[in-house]
Chain A
Amino acid sequence: MNKEDNQGQLWEVFLQTKPGMAFKHVGSVHAFDKELAVQNARDLYTRRGEGTGLWVVSSEEIVAVTINEAEYFFEPIDKKIYRHPTFYNLPEGVKNM
C-alpha cells in the first residue's frame, strides 16, 4: 500500500454487461480486502444495473507492456499479413467462403 495513502489498496474492476459477453475493464476502486473491493465496485460501477458479472483484480498484479517496449513487442506481427483472410486471392465466383 502507498504509505501516503490510508484509503486501502487499488483494485481494477472488470464488468460483464450481458451473460456470455467478455469482461471489460471499467475503472478502479480502493478497498482494504477483496470482499470490500467487490462491494465497492458494485456500488461504484453498477448503480444502473450495468453488470451481470464483476471481477476485481489487485492493481499490483497487473503486468503491462510499457510504451517504450510496445513498438518492439507488437511490431513483428505487422509483417505477417498472411494471417488475415483478405491476404488471399481466390477465383471469381467461389461461394460460402
Chain B
Amino acid sequence: MLTKELSEDQLLAEFDLKIASDIKIEPRDWMPEEYRNQLIRQISQHAHSEIIGMQPEGNWLNRAPSLRSKKILMAKIQDEAGHGLYLYSAAETLGISREQMIAALHAGKAKYASVFNYPSLNWADMGAIGWLVDGAAITNQVSLQRTSYGPYARAMVRICKEESFHQRQGYEIMWRMMQGTEDQKRMAQDALNRWWYPALMMFGPHDADSAHSSKSMKWKIKRESNDHLRAKFVNKSIPQAELLGLKVPDVKLIDEASGIYEHTAINWEEFWTVVNGNGPCNKQRIEHHIKAHEDGEWVRKTAIAADLKHHTN
C-alpha cells in the first residue's frame, strides 16, 4: 500500500493542525513523545485513582446501615473498578502495559488522587465522598470528555454517564442524615468539613504553580484550567449544601449580584505532604493494593499456564 514518507517537522505540523482543528489524536497516529508521556502519566494516574478509590468505600461495605445502601455501595465500587479498567485500556493504547503501570504504582513512581489518602471514619463519609469527591471528579471529567486523545475522551464519555449515580447516591445519604437525629446532622456537617478541602485539592495546584498545565492546555489534553474547574465546583456545591441545611466551611461571597463564591486559601503544604506519600493513609492504601495484587498471583499464573497448554495442544 502507498504511504507517504514525512519528516519529523511535517509530522509535527500535521499533529499541531489536528489539535488546532479539534480532530482527535488516535493510537496509530504520529504524536510527539512528550505528548505520549504526558498522556501516560495523566491517564495512568487517573486509572490508579479509580482503583485506589475503592478502598475508603470498601471500608464501609460490611457496615452499611441497610441492605439497600449496601447494594448501592457495592454497585458504586464495582463501577470504580470498571472506570479503572476503561482508563488502563486507554493508557495501554499508548504503548505501556497494565503490568508496567501497576509496577509504577507499587514503586511509588505513579501517583493517584491524594484525596483517597484520607480515612473514611463513619457512614456520613460515604455521603460526603459520593457528593463531593465524585462531584469534583465529575466536574473534571465532564471537561475531559473533550480531551484531544480519542481513547481517553471516549473513556470519559462512558465514565461521566455512570458517575452521576455516584454523586446522587452520596447526596441522598447526606439528605437522609439531615432528616435524622441531632447526632446524625452533626456527623453530616463534620463529614462535609473534613472532605471539603481534600475535594478542592483534587483539582490540583493553582494554575500558576502547576508543572504540567501549560503543555497540557496547549495540546488540549486538559481543556479547562485547575482554578477554573475548582471555582465551578465551589459554586455548584454551595447551593447544594444550603438545600441540605449544611454549611460549606470558609467560603466568601465575592459577587453578591450574581451570587459567586470563592473558597479561602487551601493548605498547599498539606496537599504536597499527602501527594509525596505522607498523608494519613498513603501507606495503608499502597500496602493493601500490593497485597491484593500478590494474593491474586496464583490466578494469573494458573490462567497463563492454562493458556499455554491450550496453545500447545
When the two chains form their complex, are residues A44 and B82 in contact, meaning their CB atoms are under 8 A apart? yes
Residue in contact with A32 in the complex, picked from B6, B154, B307, CB distance below 8 Å: B307
What residues of chain A lie closer than 8 Å to B6, measured between beta carbons?
Answer: 68
Using known A-B contacts A7-B300, A67-B29, A67-B30, determine if residue A29 contacts B100 with beta carbons closer than 8 Å: no
- Inter-chain contact B85/A44, CB cutoff 8 Å: yes
Decide: B99 and A4 in contact? CB cutoff 8 A.
yes
The residues in B between 62 and 77 inclusive whose CB is less than 8 angstroms from any CB of A are 75
A27 touches B30 (CB 8 A): no
Are A28 and B28 touching (Cβ within 8 A)? no
Q: Is there a chain B Cβ closer than 8 Å to A47's Cβ?
A: yes
Using an 8 Å CB-CB cutoff, how does the interface string of B18-29 with A read, 1 for contact, 0 for none? 000000001011
Contact A71/B97 with A8-B303, A10-B92, A32-B306 known, Cβ cut-off 8 Å? no
Interface positions of B from 162 to 219, Cβ below 8 Å from A: 162
Cα separation A58 to B89 with both chains bound (whole Å): 14
Query: Digit string of B77-105 for contact with A (CB within 8 Å is 1, else 0)?
Result: 01100100110010010000111100000
A67 to chain B, nearest CB (A): 5
Are A47 and B82 in contact, CB atoms less than 8 angstroms apart? yes
Residue among A32, A33, A69 with the highest chain B CB neighbour number at 10 A: A32
**Contacts of A48 on B, CB cut-off 8 Å?**
162
Contact A66/B3 with A2-B97, A28-B89, A44-B82 known, Cβ cut-off 8 Å: yes
- The residue on A at minimum CB distance from B1 is A69
* Nearest B residue (CB) for A10: B92
Q: Which residues of B contact A73 (CB under 8 A)?
A: 1
A69 and B99: CB pair below 8 A? no
Inter-chain contacts of A97 with B (CB < 8 A): none
| Nearest CB on B from A90, distance (A) | 35
Q: How many residues of B contact A (CB 8 A)?
A: 31
A71 to chain B, nearest CB (A): 7
Interface residues of A, count at CB 8 A: 28
Q: A64 with B28: in contact, given A8-B303, A44-B82, A47-B78 (CB under 8 Å)?
A: yes
CA distance A69 to B154 in the complex (A): 24
Tell me which of A8, A64, A68 has the highest count of chain B C-beta atoms within 10 A of its own C-beta.
Answer: A68
**A92 contacts chain B at the CB level, 8 A cutoff:** no
Q: Which residues of B contact A (CB under 8 A)?
A: 1-4, 6, 26, 28-30, 75, 78-79, 82, 85-86, 89, 92, 97-100, 154-155, 158, 162, 300, 303-304, 306-307, 310
Residues of A within 8 A of B (CB): 1-2, 4-8, 10, 26-30, 32-33, 36, 43-44, 47-48, 64, 66-69, 71-73
> Can you report 26 residue pairs joining A to B where beta carbons are below 8 Å apart?
A2-B97, A5-B97, A5-B99, A6-B300, A6-B304, A7-B98, A26-B158, A27-B86, A27-B89, A27-B155, A27-B158, A28-B89, A28-B92, A29-B85, A29-B89, A44-B86, A47-B75, A66-B3, A67-B26, A67-B28, A67-B29, A68-B4, A68-B6, A69-B3, A71-B4, A73-B1
Sample of 13 more A-B contacts, CB < 8 Å, known A7-B97, A26-B158, A44-B86 = A4-B100, A6-B304, A7-B98, A10-B92, A27-B89, A28-B89, A36-B303, A47-B78, A47-B79, A47-B82, A48-B162, A71-B4, A72-B1
Nearest 6 A-B pairs (CB), nearest first? A5-B97, A32-B303, A68-B3, A72-B2, A32-B307, A4-B97
